């Protein structure tokens, strides 16, 4: 059995639909739009075998129904959100073998563990396994999702859960936001050398229209201001922006998130 590999399908202006594929099968993560997926499957002569959703937003689930008309496949997704086409509701479980805590794709012998990561939406989940992380709109390269249905504390906890994964974990997020996230991060932490280096690399990739993803957990810990709320330079800049001295990481996070919302 060969390890499946991951391919990006672009959708809308900046969404990525991630394809987990081998030479004849494909599973898709967050198909917001069916048409580019169907075109890809046809071009590559692949059979769809599963749909995985991270959260209920339409730019992540909008293509489910049309894909299901062509392929009768299981649809995995968060148990705590309403997604009409779901067949396998999932949530994080202590028992690593449990059925509702895993998406198992037999064609790839691939088991992806479910992590509950609320904040962007109330029931948002991530899929983790084989050094791959599909984290939807929670952790972005150098950024994080907006707080639509959750609190700053929830998002901090969710991001910490992802940051605790092994350094080499490949991070596949739902959008190409890296360049604008870096623009913000550079203002928050101008002295971060890893960030300066990343900015130059990302600029080169985007000039050639190449995706900047996947990132890695190690890279996010080194460059993502939302994972670095304990850094003195970040605490200082967040405090200056808030006009008061912020001490705990959740307040620093909340100040950064609010700042970025209007950036
Ligand atoms: Zn979203
Ligand atoms: Fe999204």
Six-digit token string for 86: 């779901």
Residues of the chain below pLDDT 70: 1-2
Rounded to the nearest whole angstrom, what is the distance from the C-alpha of residue 232 to the centroid of ligand 1? Answer: 30
pTM over 0.85: yes
Tell me if residue 88 is catalytic: no
Candidate list 55, 56, 116, 124, residue with the active-site label: 55
Q: Cβ distance 85 to 75 under 8 Å?
A: yes
Tell me if residue 59 is catalytic: yes
Strand residues in the chain grouped as ranges (E): 5-11, 15-21, 25-29, 47-52, 75-78, 88-90, 102-105, 110-116, 125-129, 132-134, 139-140, 143-144, 170-172, 215-216
Domains of the chain, by residue range, sit at 5-173, 180-208+221-261
Tell me if residue 43 is catalytic: no
Candidate list 56, 57, 116, 124, residue with the active-site label: 57
Looking at residue 207, its pLDDT comes to 98
CATH architecture of 5-173: 4-Layer Sandwich (3.60)
Six-digit token string for 192: 């971060």
Rounded to the nearest whole angstrom, what is the distance from the C-alpha of residue 144 to the centroid of ligand 1? Answer: 11
Phi, psi of 79 (to 5 degrees): -65, -25
Q: Which ligand is nearest to the CA of 56?
A: 1
Rounded to the nearest whole angstrom, what is the distance from the C-alpha of residue 191 to the centroid of ligand 1? Answer: 31
Tell me if residue 124 is catalytic: no
Looking at residue 76, its pLDDT comes to 98
Q: Please give the helix or strand (H or E) that residue 239 lies within, else none.
A: helix 232-242
C-alpha to C-alpha distances, 227 to 51, 135, 185, nearest whole angstrom:
29, 15, 11
Q: Which ligand is nearest to the CA of 30?
A: 2
Rounded to the nearest whole angstrom, what is the distance from the C-alpha of residue 119 to the centroid of ligand 2? Answer: 13
Tell me if residue 5 is catalytic: no
Rounded to the nearest whole angstrom, what is the distance from the C-alpha of residue 137 to the centroid of ligand 2? Answer: 5
Q: Cβ distance 27 to 51 under 8 Å?
A: yes
Residue that the structure tokens 């029931």 belong to = 123
Tell me if residue 175 is catalytic: yes
Candidate list 120, 157, 164, 209, residue with the active-site label: 120
């Amino acid at each position: 059995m060969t390890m499946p590999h991951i391919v990006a399908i672009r959708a809308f202006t900046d969404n990525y639909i991630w394809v987990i594929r081998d030479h004849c099968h494909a599973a898709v993560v967050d198909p917001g739009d069916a048409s580019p997926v169907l075109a890809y499957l046809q071009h590559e002569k692949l059979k769809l075998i599963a749909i995985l959703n991270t959260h209920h937003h339409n730019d992540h689930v909008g293509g489910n129904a049309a894909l299901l008309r062509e392929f009768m496949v299981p649809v995995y997704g968060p148990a705590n959100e309403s997604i009409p086409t779901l067949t396998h509701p999932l949530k994080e479980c202590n028992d690593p073998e449990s059925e509702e805590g895993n998406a198992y794709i037999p064609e790839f012998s691939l088991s992806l563990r479910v992590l509950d990561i609320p904040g962007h939406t109330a029931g948002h989940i991530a899929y983790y396994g084989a050094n791959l992380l599909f984290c939807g709109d929670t952790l972005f390269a150098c950024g994080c999702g907006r707080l639509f249905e959750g609190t700053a504390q929830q998002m901090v906890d969710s991001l910490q859960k992802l940051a605790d994964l092994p350094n080499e974990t490949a991070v596949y997020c739902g959008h190409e936001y890296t360049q604008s996230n870096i623009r913000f991060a550079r203002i928050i932490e101008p002295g971060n050398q890893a960030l300066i280096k990343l900015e130059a690399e990302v600029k080169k990739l985007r000039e050639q229209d190449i995706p900047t993803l996947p990132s890695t957990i190690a890279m996010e810990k080194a460059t993502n201001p939302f994972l670095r709320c304990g850094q003195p330079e970040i605490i200082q800049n967040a405090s200056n922006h808030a006009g008061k001295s912020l001490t705990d990481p959740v307040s620093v996070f909340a100040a950064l998130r609010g700042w970025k919302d209007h950036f």
